[in-house]
């Protein structure tokens, strides 16, 4: 079992490094400057994290946060920024696939003939690899950038699945988290591709940077696991402080609402509203997804109001009954201790009732 944990941890991080290096290679090929290979040094952070995790955590993850996912973002996001800023210098033809396939078959046949006539199998493998790399280089820049976006988001989901989980998160919570990440990744990919493909947006350098900044901000939710975990709280703090009890009881729901309002749907709605209101950019998909963001934000606010009303009703009912307000995410022993302490106080009051003050003697007596 421990061997599988170590193997999953190493394979997942190796996939992260490989994808990051492909992004750096594309930046270097597009910019035609070898200095961009220095971006590959960011992978040293991921290698350092791998060594520390294997040594101190035996390959398992941490609670609430995934350093490997966060460092993968650091290694890959700069390359995608540079590719998107440099976007548009190479345009695809009407049928690029057919042309590439024909050239590819011709080159492979030539390499096969040369290998049979010369050195043999080893030379054939080398020639085949060279032809394959040359064909990858001929793919237009826009296709490469979109493919890197897609594989980046897919690796975030698959990598979170393959990474060994810590003792604080269960398999059920992990499955819920992965389903949420799939929907989130689809929304983020749609936002980046739909807004950056607009011709008027490509002409505005500041607008491209603003969209990429919002896109980067939305990616920061992937290293966090707060969407499926409750924050523990002490009985003394939860019984005395209403905000602590609210955070303890609805931590996962509040985190989902906060992510939607301030990290994903809220910023996406602001960007699309600026495109339509200030820059007068209108198309069918832009209007549709803006309406979708408005609907999601409205439903999240409605969900927040429902949570607050339910919490207020629960607090009022418990206060009227004289019960102790304990957090449902606390261990059973903590709630039992608080309840038993409250019961002991009630028993003492029943066994030793407060003495009544003696009445003054009446004048008749």
Burial of 315 (0-12, 13-18, 19+ CB in 10 A): middle
Q: Crossing angle for the helix pair 2-31 and 43-56, nearest 10 degrees?
A: 170
Whole-number Å distance between alpha carbons of 61 and 44: 19
Whole-number Å distance between alpha carbons of 129 and 29: 18
Which pLDDT belongs to residue 325?
53
Place of tokens 């304990």: 326
Reduced to 3 states, what is the DSSP secondary structure of residue 65?
strand
Compute how many other C-beta atoms are within 10 angstroms of the C-beta atom of residue 12. 23
Please report, in tens digits, the pLDDT of each residue of the chain (365 residues total).
688 888 989 999 999 999 999 999 999 989 999 999 999 999 999 999 999 988 888 878 887 889 999 999 999 999 999 999 987 554 555 444 433 444 445 454 554 554 454 455 667 777 777 776 667 666 778 888 999 999 999 999 999 999 887 666 788 888 888 999 999 999 999 999 999 989 889 889 999 999 999 999 999 999 988 766 666 555 554 445 777 777 778 888 898 999 999 999 999 999 999 999 999 999 999 999 999 999 999 999 999 999 999 988 888 887 776 655 555 444 434 444 444 444 554 444 444 454 444 444 444 43
Which pLDDT belongs to residue 314?
84
Which pLDDT belongs to residue 110?
52
**Both tokens assigned to 62:** 């941490």
Which pLDDT belongs to residue 339?
46
Q: Are 165 and 174 in contact (CB under 8 A)?
A: yes
Whole-number Å distance between alpha carbons of 351 and 331: 31
Q: Are 50 and 13 in contact (CB under 8 A)?
A: yes
Which pLDDT belongs to residue 248?
77
DSSP character for 361?
A: P
Q: Are 16 and 72 in contact (CB under 8 A)?
A: yes
DSSP string, 148-163: HHHHHHHHHHHHHHHS
């Amino acid at each position: 079992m421990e061997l599988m944990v170590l193997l999953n941890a190493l394979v997942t991080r190796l996939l992260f490094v490989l994808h990051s290096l492909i992004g750096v290679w594309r930046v270097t090929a597009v910019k035609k400057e070898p200095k961009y290979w220095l971006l590959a040094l960011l992978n040293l952070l991921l290698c350092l994290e791998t060594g520390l995790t294997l040594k101190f955590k035996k390959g398992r993850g941490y609670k609430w946060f995934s350093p490997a996912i966060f460092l993968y973002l650091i290694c890959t996001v700069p390359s995608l920024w540079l590719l998107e800023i440099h976007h548009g210098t190479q345009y695809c033809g009407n049928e690029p696939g057919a042309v590439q396939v024909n050239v590819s078959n011709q080159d492979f046949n030539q390499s096969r003939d040369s290998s049979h006539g010369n050195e043999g199998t080893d030379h054939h493998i080398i020639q085949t690899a060279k032809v394959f790399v040359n064909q990858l280089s001929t793919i237009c820049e826009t296709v490469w950038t979109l493919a890197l976006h897609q594989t980046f988001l897919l690796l975030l989901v698959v990598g979170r699945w393959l990474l060994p989980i810590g003792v604080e998160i269960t398999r059920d919570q992990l499955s819920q988290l992965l389903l949420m990440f799939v929907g989130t990744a689809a929304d983020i990919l749609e936002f980046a591709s739909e807004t950056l493909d607009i011709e008027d947006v490509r002409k505005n350098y500041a607008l491209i940077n603003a969209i990429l900044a919002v896109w980067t901000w939305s990616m920061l939710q992937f290293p966090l696991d707060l969407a499926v975990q409750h924050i523990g709280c002490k009985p003394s703090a939860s019984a005395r402080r209403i905000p602590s009890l609210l955070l303890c009881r609805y931590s996962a729901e509040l985190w989902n609402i906060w992510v939607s309002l301030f990290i994903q749907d809220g910023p996406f709605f602001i960007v699309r509203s600026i495109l339509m209101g200030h820059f007068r950019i209108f198309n069918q998909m832009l209007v549709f997804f803006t309406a979708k963001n408005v609907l999601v934000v409205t439903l999240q606010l409605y969900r927040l109001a429902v949570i607050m009303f339910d919490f207020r009703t629960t607090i009022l009912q418990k206060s009227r009954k004289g019960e102790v307000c304990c957090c449902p995410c606390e261990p059973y022993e903590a709630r039992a201790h608080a309840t038993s302490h409250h019961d002991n106080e009630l028993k003492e009051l029943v066994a030793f009732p407060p003495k009544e003050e003696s009445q003054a003697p009446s004048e008749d007596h």
